Structure 1
Amino acid sequence: MIDTIKEHIAEVEKFTSTSIEEIEAFRIKYLGKKGLLNSFFAEFKNVPNEQKKDFGKVVNQLKDAATDKVNALKETLESQTETVGKYGDLTRPGEPVEIGSRHPINIVKNQIIDIFSRIGFNVSEGPEIEDDWHNFTALNLPEYHPARDMQDTFFIQTDPDILLRTHTSSVQVRYMESNKPPIRTISPGRVYRNEAISARSHCFFHQVEGLYVDKNVSFADLKQTLQYFTSEMFGKSKIRLRPSYFPFTEPSAEVDVYWGLETETDYRMTKGTGWLEIMGCGMVDPNVLKNCGIDPDVYSGFAFGMGIDRIALLLHQISDIRLLSENDVRFLEQFKSAL
């Protein structure tokens, strides 16, 4: 009988399982009310007196071995269950990840930068708080020019020479002062105008201005550059240039792209003409080049500027410019899939 019990001890020590059902069956076999241990204890009275000590010892060994084995296997299973509970079922599909949103202004700005970078334009930046020289004087805007009026510009009261820039042309001045031709750069950034806020205008907005200065730069170069841009940005290749006036360019022009009249929205945006104004441009005035330390007898150049906000309104059919600065999550979430 003692040898039989020792065989059971060896069997218990070898037993292993990761199934809760198998472990429970093992427990019942040895430790249950009708298990082997109870039957061995019941046989104790039939064991000769001289063997009772050894018999009791091996029965207790079997009991301890079976109890320890069951407890150890259950602890292993419980630890595995806790891991599954912590990390979930690794075979299940993952939880959907919320896609972040880009602001429509950044979407359009990045598109513009990408288009011009393909033809060699780099990106230059400058301060939003500017001085009179870089924002006005160097750009051929004399002291009496209406753009200097308090109704158009935010001046710093403590210093009348300091203001919030009204265009990113000031960045171009700084770039020309510190770089020699050939110059090919675009200057995206936020600008400020002292205007009434409405659905179509705001006291701050965003611009991208471009500058190309080199030897023998002509108006034809300007037109071809703008032709390329409108084709890439809008998918429209038909443009026209209308004579205009800007103090820092001569000659100057407004650029229109033929948007078409295919929908009611097209009629509304173009006022029934099919043409949509998108930017201003012109050949850099020789005085501006001279003010920036560039010899106008050797170099010439062209410049252009467009409103990012206006293009964003156009491309994404946004009806109110104020939506671009209100940070309404319901509005911004519409651009989750935009790059």
Structure 2
Amino acid sequence: MNSSKSFVDNIVTLDFDDYNDDDENYDEENNEEGSVPINDVKYSYGTMCAIVKYSKTPTFQSLRHRYRHVKHKEQLRRIKELLLPVHDCDVRRLAMKKARGLNLPGFAASHHWLSDFKHLHHISSRKITKLVTKHYIDDREIILMLAENILIKVKEKQWKYATGHILNSDQRFQVTTIAEASKIGHIFVTATGSTELIRGEHILEMRDMAILCNIGSGQTEIDVAWLKVNATKIENLKPHVDIYHLPNGRAIILPADGRVINLSCAHGNPSFVMSNSFSNQILAQIELYTKKGHYPVGIHILPKTLDEEVAMAHLEYLGIKLDKLTVNQSAYIDVHPDGPFKPIYYRY
């Protein structure tokens, strides 16, 4: 979408202005930075916050006397609407809705589009400045103490990281080279399907007890051969997890010997799940063998009759009992009494 203004008329920053509600000399007309026009009157975000806060207790007449430009309740309602929080998912939803209306099928409201849109309209993330719980009054002291402890722990570790490495989870990921990432990361997961991604020079730069694992392809994404040659000691921590002690005094944890970790270290799926999968496979093979010539070479969807046969076979294990359709019932919904009960295109 070339212009995000096509569906957003007014947007303001979510950063609060410094404003004292008790200051009677405050003049909203002189504070127009980032202002929003309502009925030809411009209000700053701080002023709108103050108006909404003041409107909770006094009468509307008192509000009109204090803020002389708020002459109608419709203006107050409009101000309250502008202060409603809008999340990233809301912006994406509105953008997609508008794109459909403009017949833009290729528009996806991507992360980059959202980032550019927020930058264009000066939208920043709102920070949590107050902890509120159901038992806020009773537990206030405990909550404040826990919050203070969290801040202390963060400050203790903060000096170890550069400012550029500390990111909000709702912002964006940092993209950098493995040479730089090896100096700051704790866990490294290769997932490219390529080779020689993490080499000896990178491993020597890593933190003590950093974790290396691979979910890409084969055993070549991490230079395991270099590790085995240069390690001063290899310690088996538990099955499929080894600690490689390096000449520089640090150690590296390597699961699955550098192989694809989800295949090498997983404990497997529950037997019930595997029973369903394997039953489908066996019935499919029997179907192909007994009906030679019925299925041409190609890709075929498993017939619904076989899918439902597998499901029926597992109902007893789950303690489930089903009534069988009567002739009238099956005729009414236009299905065979023995199934299949769903059309071929239906996905369970």
Q: Which TM-score band applies after superposition, normalised by the shorter structure?
A: under 0.3
Greater fraction of residues in strand: 1
Larger Rg: 1
Q: Normalization by structure 1: what TM-score?
A: 0.20
Greater fraction of residues in helix: 1
Q: Normalization by structure 2: what TM-score?
A: 0.19
Higher relative contact order (CA 8 A, sep 6+): 1
